[in-house]
Amino acid sequence: SQQGEEDPQALSIQEGENATMNCSYKTSINNLQWYRQNSGRGLVHLILIRSNEREKHSGRLRVTLDTSKKSSSLLITASRAADTASYFCATDDRGSTLGRLYFGRGTQLTVWP
Amino acid sequence: AAGVIQSPRHLIKEKRETATLKCYPIPRHDTVYWYQQGPGQDPQFLISFYEKMQSDKGSIPDRFSAQQFSDYHSELNMSSLELGDSALYFCASSTNRQGPTGTQYFGPGTRLTVL
């Protein structure tokens, strides 16, 4: 598998706290994307970070990428109950132009009101 | 904004039956991807099409086939269904005209249950 593990597998926090999720991957990439999935529903694209970028922000989301360590983190600040979902990172393969994504196993985030 | 449309949203089939899943990509997107997500699993790539030609193939069983039509919609045909085919099937679309591996936008998925 191209993907390593996502860490943690499950995260439970209170509203207002920050949530940090990490993922690792194995091969060189063009970009890394984070997706959110509410229970058994569709994958919602959150953010894409390219291999030449180190940090990217979108609203309450902050993504970092460390290509030397082949890892990325997703920070959700001031979390809300509505942020409860599974979060997946997905990478492509730098050696390919075909674009298939390799997903990590995901982090199940629960935010308590 | 228009999103990826998948139909049907839910499908129940018996073992050994066939199923056809449809995907309508975002307008002007030239690439379609199919993924399978088993219960509690991460999505796994099945197959993709670029400009109506198969561009990549993953862990797709020989019982499955797919194509992309002239209007860019795609269909995933599944025959001789097995219990293990029960999963969420996602279609995603992107435009690669400005280079490879842009953002992939996913549809809501088709939940297939094989009894």
User: Which chain B residues are closer than 8 Å to A106 by Cβ?
Assistant: 42
Best interface-test mutation with A: which of B5, B42, B96 has the largest number of A CBs within 10 A? B42
User: Which chain A residues are closer than 8 Å to B110 by Cβ?
Assistant: none
Q: Is the dihedral of CA A22, A26, A31, A36 positive or negative?
A: negative
Average pLDDT over residues B48-52: 90
Q: Which of residues 59-78 of B touch A (CB under 8 A)?
A: none
Per the model's pLDDT, the better-predicted residue between A54 and A5 turns out to be A54
Residue A95: what pLDDT? 74
Residue B107: closest C-alpha in chain A: A42
Residue A66: what pLDDT? 96
What mean pLDDT value characterizes chain B? 92
Measured CA angle at A45 (ends A41, A50), to 5 deg: 150
Residue A96: what pLDDT? 73
The residues, ordered by sequence, that sit 6+ positions from A41 with a Cβ below 8 Å of its Cβ are: B108, B109
Q: What percent of chain B has pLDDT over 90?
A: 77
User: Which chain A residues are closer than 8 Å to B92 by Cβ?
Assistant: 43, 101
Residue B40: what pLDDT? 87
DSSP state of A37: E
pLDDT band at B14 (very low <50, low <70, confident <90, very high): very high
* Whether pLDDT at B23 is above 70: yes
pLDDT band at B95 (very low <50, low <70, confident <90, very high): confident
pLDDT band at B101 (very low <50, low <70, confident <90, very high): low
Tell me the C-alpha distance between A22 and A3, whole Å. 12
In DSSP terms, which residues pair with A23 in a beta bridge? A6, A72
pLDDT band at B99 (very low <50, low <70, confident <90, very high): low
Give burial (CB, 10 Å; 0-12/13-18/19+) of A7: middle
Residue B13: what pLDDT? 97
Per the model's pLDDT, the better-predicted residue between B7 and A42 turns out to be B7
Q: Do the Cβ atoms of B48 and B34 come closer than 8 Å?
A: yes
* Minimal Cβ distance to A31: which of B44, B101, B105: B101
- At A19-65, the pLDDT tens digits run 999 999 988 888 999 999 998 788 999 999 999 999 999 999 999 99
User: Which chain B residues are closer than 8 Å to A48 by Cβ?
Assistant: 102-103
Query: Do the Cβ atoms of A88 and B58 come within 8 Å?
Result: no
* Whether pLDDT at B98 is above 60: no
- At A62-81, the pLDDT tens digits run 999 999 999 999 999 999 99
pLDDT band at B97 (very low <50, low <70, confident <90, very high): low
* Minimal Cβ distance to A40: which of B42, B43, B88: B88
- CA within 13 Å, CB half, B34: 32
- CB distance from B79 to chain A under 8 Å? no
pLDDT band at A4 (very low <50, low <70, confident <90, very high): low
Best interface-test mutation with A: which of B93, B103, B104, B113 has the largest number of A CBs within 10 A? B104
Residue A5: what pLDDT? 72
Measured CA angle at B47 (ends A67, B74), to 5 deg: 125
What mean pLDDT value characterizes chain A? 91
- CB distance from B108 to chain A under 8 Å? yes
